[in-house]
Amino acid sequence: MFKLQNKLDFHTTVLDLRAAAGSLVVLGVLRKLSNEEWERCRDDASDTHLIKGVIFDSKKTEAIRAYIAKIVRLYMNTVGPNIGAWTKNSLENEHVLTKAVSDKICNSEINTADQLFEMVITRLIGVDSHIVRASLAKTNRGIALGLVGYLSARHDESVDPLVTYAQLINDIEILLDAKKLNDEFYDVVLEEGGHIIFGQDYHQTIGIEILEDAIGRCYVEKRLSRD
- Domain-located, residue 200: yes
Q: Which pLDDT value is given to residue 157? A: 82
Q: Which pLDDT value is given to residue 83? A: 42
Q: Which pLDDT value is given to residue 91? A: 44
- Domain-located, residue 181: yes
- Domain-located, residue 130: yes
Q: Which pLDDT value is given to residue 195? A: 86
- Domain-located, residue 180: yes
- Domain-located, residue 227: no
Split into its structural domains, the chain has a count of 1
Mean pLDDT by 10 residues, the chain (227 residues): 79 95 93 94 90 91 91 79 47 62 91 96 91 96 97 89 94 94 94 83 78 88 74
Q: Which pLDDT value is given to residue 99? A: 79
- Domain-located, residue 37: yes
**For residue 21, what are the domain limits?**
2-220
- Domain-located, residue 225: no
Q: Which pLDDT value is given to residue 189? A: 94
- Domain-located, residue 226: no
Q: Which pLDDT value is given to residue 221? A: 72
**DSSP codes joined into one string, the chain:** -HHHHHHHHHHHHHHHHHHHHHHHHHHHHHHHHHHHHHHH-B-TTT--BSSBT--S-HHHHHHHHHHHHHHHHHHHHHH---TTT--SS-GGG--HHHHHHHHHHHTS-B-SHHHHHHHIIIIII---HHHHHHHH-SSHHHHHHHHHHHHHHHH-TTS-HHHHTHHHHHHHHHHHHTT--SHHHHHHHHHHHHHHHTSTT----SHHHHHHHHHHHHHHTTSS---
